[in-house]
Amino acid sequence: MPTARSYAASSATSPLAFSPIPRREPTERDVEIEILFCGVCHSDLHQARGEWSALPTVYPCVPGHEIVGKVTRVGSAVTKHQPGDVVGVGCLVDSDHSCPICESNLEQFCPNATFTYNSPDLHGTAPVTYGGYSSSIVVDEHFTLKVPGNLELAGVAPLLCAGITTYSPIRRWGDIRGKKVGVVGLGGLGHMGVKFAHAFGAHTVVLTTSPGKAEDALRLGADEVIVTRDANAMQQAAGSFDFILDTVSADHDINAYLNLLAIDGTLTMVGAPDKPLPVSAFGLLFGRKRLAGSLIGGIAETQEMLDFCGQQGITSDVEVIAIQQINEAYERLLKSDVKYRFSIDMASLTEG
């Protein structure tokens, strides 16, 4: 069986370190990809450190689901790509392809969806799937995306998770032009949410705990910035938002953000802190407000998002790192110190 180089966590408390991993020979529907860049999602950190009780981690864990790479081999039945093509892979690598959910292009909710890492590996190559902090990956062609040729690849990688996770709920909301949209948390997801809300014509407001990010927020496309620790500013903005996208990765008081919604306003959670968040019933009742959730997006919608980014020239603002900096990058994520996504240059992943 072919072997790939990777960086893996061997327990919840060990730093990520070099580890060889098996990769399957491409089957007839598979595409083999040499990985060029992989974005660093906060989900990688949650999973590597065993922080999600709902999704326990199987070790070794190779995170990474914001993958851009070059096709090296294709199976005999593959029609979408040929060797040399630049392709993307996000959070999904397989599903049953046939259930009504898959047929509605919502593969992320397929009961048999295989996620890019920490999902049972149905091919039997390893106990679970291994993600993109690796030199190569083999994926069913349906789960590969075409990458627009005009975009810089280090900044494309994060579109495969942070991009689609924010694009999908913003599109689902409807025509957002002229509406007041808040994005809570200016990290990897948040900065993409700002770019998309702005691109679709919303009056975009960043809600941040970091006053130092205000200038960047405006540059990224925000019309206003509210520092959420400023009680006065939060009071003045009460009842004024049509839609709020909450990207916060840690425990936080969601009621403070529900209070900002106008009548019939919606707050959609995309952040995934482990601990349940208490919600005030009265906070929802007064104003007939809605609290919702959203998980990445299906493959067709992910392609639509990438094509939109190609047309608009949208990429993620990245700090390119070597794989050897990954543990330090995780510590910086925990301090909200990322501008605004780490993207790993996989050329750095040499032996040991």
Q: Which residues bind ligand NAP (CB under 6 A)?
A: 41-43, 46, 161-162, 165, 185-190, 208-210, 213, 247-250, 252, 270-273, 294-296, 333, 336, 338
Choose the contact partner of 321 out of Zn ion, ligand NAP, none; CB within 5 to 8 A by kind: none
Choose the contact partner of 209 out of ligand NAP, Zn ion, none; CB within 5 to 8 A by kind: ligand NAP
Choose the contact partner of 155 out of Zn ion, ligand NAP, none; CB within 5 to 8 A by kind: none
**Cβ neighbours around 235 below 10 Å, total:** 10
What CA–CA distance (Å, rounded) separates 152 from 139?
Answer: 23
Question: Minimum distance from CB of 92 to Zn ion (Å)?
Answer: 11
Helices (H), 259-344: 281-285, 299-312, 326-334
Element (H, E) at 264: strand 261-269
**C-beta of 151 vs 318, nearer to ligand NAP:** 318
What CA–CA distance (Å, rounded) separates 292 from 298?
Answer: 18
Choose the contact partner of 326 out of Zn ion, ligand NAP, none; CB within 5 to 8 A by kind: none
Question: Minimum distance from CB of 44 to Zn ion (Å)?
Answer: 7
In three-state secondary structure terms, 224 is strand
Q: How far is CA 87 from CA 23, 98, 153, in A?
A: 18, 24, 10
Choose the contact partner of 221 out of Zn ion, ligand NAP, none; CB within 5 to 8 A by kind: none
Question: Minimum distance from CB of 20 to Zn ion (Å)?
Answer: 25
Question: Minimum distance from CB of 65 to Zn ion (Å)?
Answer: 5
**C-beta of 254 vs 296, nearer to Zn ion:** 296
**C-beta of 73 vs 332, nearer to ligand NAP:** 332
**C-beta of 284 vs 295, nearer to ligand NAP:** 295
Q: Which residues contact 306 (CB under 8 A, 6 or more apart)?
A: 88, 145, 146, 147, 148, 156, 159, 163
Q: In the bound complex, which residue of the shown chain has the CB atom lying closest to Zn ion?
A: 41
**C-beta of 86 vs 338, nearer to ligand NAP:** 338
**C-beta of 118 vs 336, nearer to ligand NAP:** 336
Structure tokens at 122: 């149905």
Question: CA angle at residue 100 from 95 to 106, to 5 degrees?
Answer: 55
**C-beta of 108 vs 136, nearer to Zn ion:** 108
Q: In the bound complex, which residue of the shown chain has the CB atom lying closest to ligand NAP?
A: 187
Distance of CA 329 to the CA centre of its chain: 16
What CA–CA distance (Å, rounded) separates 62 from 66?
Answer: 13
The residue count of the chain comes to 352
Please give the residue ranges that form the binding site for Zn ion (CB under 5 A). 41, 43, 161
